[in-house]
Amino acid sequence: MTPYRSGEPSALLGAPLLVPGDAPLPAVCLKCATPHALVARPVRLRTRPAYTLPLCRRCDERRENAKKGLVFAAIIAGIGVLGTPFNARSTSDAIGVPAVSIIGFALVFFLAIRPRMLRARETAEGQILLQDVHPAAAELVRRAARP
C-alpha cells in the first residue's frame, strides 16, 4: 500500500468511513490530514442538531469554491437546456444542445466538484458515513472511535 503524506488532498482516494455517531473526531483535517489551521464545518444530519467536521482552511476554501462551481455549472446547463427551444434552428440543435449541456454538467460535477466535497450522512443505525476522507485522517478517526 502506498503511504499518504499529511497535507495532500485525498480527492477520490478516500474510502467511505463509518463511525459511531457519538465518536469524537480527531483534530486534523478530514480531507487532507493536516493538523493545523482547522475550521469547524457544520453539517446538517437527520437526527443531530449540530455535527461539525474539522477541515483546514485550504480544504474549506476548496469546498466553498466547489459549491460555487456547482451553482455556476447548474446555471449554464439550465440555460443550455431551457434556452434551446427558443433558439434552435433545427431538430438536431433542439436535441444536441440540451444533451451536451447535461453531459457537460455531469462531467464537471463528477470530475471537478464532487472530489472536493467531504460528504457526511447519517445511517439508519445512527452512525455517520463520511466519504472522501484522507486515509491518514481515517486511521485517526478509527483510533479515536475505539473504546
The residue among 14, 2, 11, 1 whose CA lies nearest residue 137 is 14
Q: Is residue 5 part of a domain?
A: no
pLDDT digits (tens, 9 = 90+) for 127-147: 888 888 888 888 888 887 776
Q: Is residue 107 part of a domain?
A: yes
pLDDT of residue 115: 67
The set of cell numbers assigned to 18 is 463509518
Domain that holds residue 39: 17-145
Q: Is residue 129 part of a domain?
A: yes
Q: Is residue 10 part of a domain?
A: no
pLDDT digits (tens, 9 = 90+) for 28-65: 888 888 888 888 888 777 777 677 888 888 888 888 88
Please determine, for residue 98, whether its predicted confidence score (pLDDT) is greater than 80: no
- Alpha-carbon distance 113 to 59, whole Å? 13
Q: Is residue 27 part of a domain?
A: yes
- Alpha-carbon distance 8 to 129, whole Å? 22
Q: Is residue 1 part of a domain?
A: no
Q: Is residue 9 part of a domain?
A: no
Please determine, for residue 72, whether its predicted confidence score (pLDDT) is greater than 80: yes
Q: Is residue 8 part of a domain?
A: no
- Alpha-carbon distance 18 to 4, whole Å? 20
Residue corresponding to grid cell 457544520:
42
pLDDT band at 84 (very low <50, low <70, confident <90, very high): low
Q: How many domains is the chain partitioned into structurally?
A: 1
Positive or negative: CA dihedral 15, 18, 21, 27: negative
